[in-house]
Amino acid sequence: MKNIQVKKTIITCAAAVILLISCGDNKKSSLDTNTSKETTSVTEDESEDKSATFKVDGTEFKGRVSTQHFGGESNNFSVLCQQNEPFALLQAVFANEKEATGTATLKPAESFYNLSEGVSIALTLGDEKFNTTDKSTGIISVDGKKLILKDLKLFNTDNKKEKVLNTTIAF
């Protein structure tokens, strides 16, 4: 009986060591998940130490800027700006990187799932989440590797609270 407990302890410790080693701190990370016949990957680019500010109802937040590819270079592309204390995250999700780095004024998409109609903007302030909806007004534009949001209205999930967002983020 004691041998079985010792073996279980050794196996658990070995699994923990393998997990810790495989989760090292990398500057560029990717995650591959196989589901049936599909492969989904998320690659985050933190190669340069960029920061930006964004204003929500006049309150200014400053955070680190990063980008992500979902499913490879030709699929969804995301620009993020994150402040850690207090927590604030701004994320813009485009259909692809080409759309994000062109020169255009874009429509706000109603969700991350329907980007053919525009770009989805999500804002998290602590525990509160706000997104673009069909009620969103304001300007979303891109100019090269610059995202410009001017007087963009975002709404919480029940559309009872709104926030006005302003920023220019170079990525």
Q: Residues 4-58: pLDDT tens digits?
A: 443 344 443 333 333 333 333 333 333 343 333 334 444 555 546 899 999 999 9
Q: Decide if 24 is inside a domain.
A: no
Q: What are 3-7's contacts with CB under 8 Å, separation 24+?
A: none
Q: Decide if 60 is inside a domain.
A: yes
Q: Decide if 22 is inside a domain.
A: no
**101 lies in which domain range?**
31-170
| 3-state SS assignment for residue 122 | strand
Q: Decide if 1 is inside a domain.
A: no
Q: Residues 78-98: pLDDT tens digits?
A: 999 999 999 999 999 999 999
Q: What integer pLDDT is reported at residue 131 of this predicted model?
A: 96
Q: Decide if 4 is inside a domain.
A: no
Q: Decide if 139 is inside a domain.
A: yes
Q: Decide if 44 is inside a domain.
A: yes
Q: What integer pLDDT is reported at residue 63 of this predicted model?
A: 97
Q: Other CB atoms closer than 10 Å to residue 50's CB: what's the count?
A: 15
> Total domain count for the chain?
1
Q: Decide if 26 is inside a domain.
A: no
Q: What integer pLDDT is reported at residue 127 of this predicted model?
A: 95
Say whether pTM exceeds 0.95: no
Using alpha carbons, select from 114, 105, 113, 136 the residue that is nearest to residue 123: 136
- For all residues of the chain together, what is the average pLDDT? 78
